[in-house]
């Protein structure tokens, strides 16, 4: 896990090494200061200001150097930790971009968001603490004990005896809170999922007046997180009193035994200045142990976050490009060779079963079927958003698994029913299909998709800003803009997954006419609920239960008098009435 995380340090290695170096110098100076202070105290009775000025000057210089080293350590530590977090988020984001739909289903969107935000922040804080405080505390303990022993070994034994007792209490508390933190992060995922679902579906929530239900639901999830954190804080709250008890006990013992030693030996074994130094070292040692407790808490919390991050970074996607994959898709022909597919390997039932189909390049295929008939599952196999379980899907005469993924997907344009527009202008959204497209090309594809008319009505026309998710355009307008974006790719295969459901039949017919006239060589697959959207297709597929129940032209299917004929008759009867 650590090895994987350290790969994200990269250009911040220098800052990560300079941070503990300056911290080490700061600790060294801080542990020498009490010795110089002891010398100053012991010479106060000499009646001369010379030693006071000499040792005072040394103390000032050492304090300034310690301050400088601490500031440099803090500066490099901030640079290293923030840079590390930046790289870690980038690595996570780049890794997620490689994920297939199945991989994203495996983690869930809300969990991936939590890992890129809360988990990375936890690891960032722990990293800064490790390269600074985790270096400072052991060095402070070691140097202070060594300095204490150099003054008086018997007195130093007080610290050596108390140290493992306090450290043991810290480790015990850390082990108790570790499993609670694991539970907290799982609940964080559920809370983020609830927020994401509510915000994305806020219009539905308001239209059904379900705000109170959603509030209660969120309050319950939030209360679970609060309850766990409260439990953890109560346990961690024991750390400070334990630490303070250890410090005060050490001070009392050192003061009492030190005073007796000074009186009994008349200062021959221990001077007042040395006793003052021992008290300072005691505070330094036990304060360092207290900081060690904070490190244990932070790293305990960060460990679970780090494991979740590494799980994503080390996850091997189910879909990868083959080495030296085919870089050219010759045409838009599609073949399904006895294809069966299931979303999960452990699933008992196939989503698609024994699909055997040949689609010539440039033809138009219509697909209809009821909800759950696996229409979308079928088309998702073409751009290799999922891989087949059995059989093979071929595009341009070659198995899709032999293509470079970018090449294959660049040749296939998919317009979903719930497609997404991103924040930015209309022209920027359209240029997702071709980033260097001219204004004329953008307008032409919008004309084909019947979008230019309403775009021209906006005050800023193609420079109109689309809000996040495209909430400032209607469903039909969004679909037409998404179709225009797909057309700009000039794909070998164009797939419309019920993406004209929000437009009227006249506009739908005009879009299909534009397809026939402008992109005759592109293979067009149209999934629709209306038979009018597919009846002029070269081939119509009727899906039922993950299988092709019927196939043929409109006339052939009408003669069969099967499912298609029934759907056509019911829709036309409804429209005529």
The predicted pLDDT at position 36 comes to: 81
Q: Give yes or no for residue 531 having a pLDDT over 90.
A: no
Count the residues in the chain: 577
At 391, the pLDDT band (50, 70, 90 cuts) reads very high
Instruction: Tell me: pLDDT of 270 over 80.
Output: no
Of 496, 506, 518, 520, the residue nearest 367 (C-alpha): 496
Q: What pLDDT does 83 receive?
A: 92
Is this model's pTM higher than 0.75 or not?
no
Residue 272: strand, helix, or coil:
helix
pLDDT at 102: 76
What is d(CA 419, CA 497) in angstroms, rounded to the nearest whole number?
Answer: 10
Examine the pLDDT at 298 and tell me if it is beyond 70: yes
Q: Is the dihedral of CA 407, 408, 409, 412 positive or negative?
A: positive
The residue that leads in pLDDT, 235 or 329, is 329
| Res 470: pLDDT | 66
Question: CA 70, CA 171: separation in Å to the nearest integer?
Answer: 28
| Per-range mean pLDDT, top range of 83-92, 257-266, 504-513 | 83-92
Give CA–CA dist 529/533, Å, rounded.
8
What pLDDT band is residue 337 in, cutting at 50, 70 and 90?
very high
What's the rounded Cα separation, in Å, for the pair 481 and 75? 49
Residue 46 pLDDT class (50, 70, 90 cuts): low
pLDDT at 47: 62
Share of the chain above pLDDT 90, in %: 13
* pLDDT at 199 (0 to 100): 67
Please, is 161 exposed, middle or buried when counting C-beta atoms within 10 Å of its C-beta (0-12, 13-18, 19+)? exposed
The pLDDT value recorded for residue 73 is 92
Average confidence (pLDDT) over 499-504: 73
Bigger pLDDT: 308 or 293? 308
Contact (Cβ atoms closer than 8 angstroms) between residue 332 and residue 395 = yes
With a CB cutoff of 8 Å and minimum separation 6, the contacts of 5 are: 88, 123, 306, 309, 310
Asked if pLDDT for residue 577 goes beyond 60, the answer is: no
- Assign 1 to helix, strand or coil: coil
Q: Report pLDDT for 395.
A: 92
What the block records as the tokens of 364 is: 């138009």
Q: The dihedral of CA 166, 169, 173, 175: what is its sign?
A: positive
Query: What separation in angstroms does the CA of 168 have from each of 163, 238, 404, 423?
Result: 9, 13, 56, 54
pLDDT at 135: 85
Residue 217 pLDDT exceeds 80: no
Per DSSP (E only), the strands in 168-275 are none
pLDDT at 449 over 80: yes
What span, in angstroms and rounded, lies between the C-alpha atoms of 142 and 260?
26
pLDDT band for position 513 (50/70/90)?
confident
Helix (H, G, I), strand (E, B) or coil at 42: helix
Match 């998404």 to its residue by tokens.
482
539-544 and 364-369 strand pairing: parallel
- 365 with 336: CB under 8 angstroms? no
> Which are the contacts of 149, defined by CB distance < 8 A and separation ≥ 6?
156
Lowest mean pLDDT among 1-10, 196-205, 351-360, 465-474: 196-205
Mean of the per-residue pLDDT values of the chain = 83
Q: How far apart are CA 176 and CA 167, in angstroms?
A: 15
Q: Return d(Cα 111, Cα 121) in angstroms, integer.
A: 15
Q: How many CA atoms lie within 13 A of 345 on its CB side?
A: 4
pLDDT attached to residue 487 = 87
Nearest to 155 by CA among 42, 261, 36, 248: 261
Q: What is the pLDDT of residues 114-145, one digit of tens each?
A: 888 888 988 998 898 888 888 888 888 888 88
Tokens 């985790």, residue?
A: 134
Q: Is the CB of residue 102 less than 8 Å from the CB of residue 386?
A: yes
The model's pLDDT over 400-409, given as tens digits with 9 standing for 90+, comes to: 999 998 889 8
283-300: average pLDDT: 75
Q: Please state, for a pLDDT cut of 70, what percent of the chain lies above it.
A: 93
Nearest-angstrom CA–CA distance, 542 and 560: 12
| 71 compared with 503, residue with greater pLDDT | 71
Q: Which two tokens stand for residue 203?
A: 């219009």
What value does the mean pLDDT take over residues 426-433?
A: 86
């Amino acid at each position: 896990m650590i090895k994987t995380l350290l790969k994200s340090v990269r250009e911040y290695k220098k800052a990560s090494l300079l941070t503990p170096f300056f911290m080490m110098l700061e600790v060294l100076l801080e542990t020498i200061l009490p010795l110089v202070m002891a010398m100053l105290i012991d010479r106060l009775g000499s009646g001369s200001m010379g030693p006071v000025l000499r040792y005072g000057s040394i103390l000032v210089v050492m304090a300034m150097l310690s301050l400088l080293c601490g500031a440099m350590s803090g500066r490099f530590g901030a640079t290293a930790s923030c840079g590390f977090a930046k790289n870690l988020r980038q690595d996570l984001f780049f890794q997620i971009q490689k994920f297939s739909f199945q991989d994203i289903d495996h983690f869930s969107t809300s969990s991936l968001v939590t890992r890129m935000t809360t988990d990375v922040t936890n690891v960032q804080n722990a990293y800064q603490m490790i390269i600074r405080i985790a270096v400072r505390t052991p060095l402070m303990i070691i140097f202070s004990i060594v300095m204490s022993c150099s003054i008086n070994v018997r007195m130093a034994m007080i610290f050596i005896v108390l140290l493992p007792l306090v450290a043991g209490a810290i480790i015990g508390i850390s082990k108790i809170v570790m499993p609670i933190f694991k539970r907290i992060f799982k609940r964080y995922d559920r809370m983020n999922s609830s927020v994401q679902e509510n915000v994305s579906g806020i219009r539905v929530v308001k239209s059904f007046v379900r705000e109170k239900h959603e509030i209660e639901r969120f309050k319950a999830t939030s209360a679970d997180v609060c309850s766990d954190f409260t439990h953890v804080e109560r346990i961690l709250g024991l750390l400070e009193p334990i630490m303070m008890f250890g410090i005060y006990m050490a001070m009392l013992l050192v003061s009492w035994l030190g005073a007796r030693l000074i009186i009994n030996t008349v200062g021959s074994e221990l001077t007042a200045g040395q006793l003052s130094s021992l008290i300072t070292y005691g505070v330094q040692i036990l304060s360092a142990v207290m900081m060690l407790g904070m490190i244990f808490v932070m790293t305990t919390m960060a460990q679970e976050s780090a494991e979740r991050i590494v799980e994503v970074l080390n996850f091997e996607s189910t879909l990868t490009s083959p080495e030296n994959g085919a870089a050219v898709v010759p045409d838009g022909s599609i073949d399904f060779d006895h294809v069966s597919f299931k979303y999960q390997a452990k699933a008992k039932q196939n989503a698609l079963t024994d699909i055997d189909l040949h689609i010539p390049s440039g033809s138009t295929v219509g697909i209809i079927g009821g909800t759950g008939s696996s229409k979308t599952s079928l088309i998702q196999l073409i751009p290799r958003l999922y891989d087949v379980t059995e059989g093979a899907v071929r595009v341009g005469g070659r198995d899709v698994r032999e293509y470079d993924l970018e090449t294959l997907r660049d040749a296939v344009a998919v317009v979903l029913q719930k497609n997404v527009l991103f924040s930015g202008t209309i022209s920027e959204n359209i240029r997702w299909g071709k980033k260097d497209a001219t204004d004329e090309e953008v307008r032409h594809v919008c004309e084909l998709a019947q979008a230019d008319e309403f775009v021209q009505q906006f005050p800023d026309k193609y420079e109109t800003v689309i809000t996040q998710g495209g909430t400032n355009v209607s469903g039909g307008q969004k679909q037409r803009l998404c179709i225009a974006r797909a057309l700009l790719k000039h794909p070998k295969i164009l797939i419309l997954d019920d993406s004209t459901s929000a437009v009227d039949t006249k506009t739908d017919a005009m879009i299909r006419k534009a397809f026939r006239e402008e992109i005759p060589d592109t293979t067009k697959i149209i999934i629709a609920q209306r038979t009018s959207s597919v009846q002029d297709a070269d081939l119509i597929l009727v899906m039922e239960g993950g299988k092709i129940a019927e196939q043929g032209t409109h006339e052939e299917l009408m003669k069969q008098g099967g499912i298609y004929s029934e759907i056509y008759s019911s829709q036309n009867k409804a429209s005529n009435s």
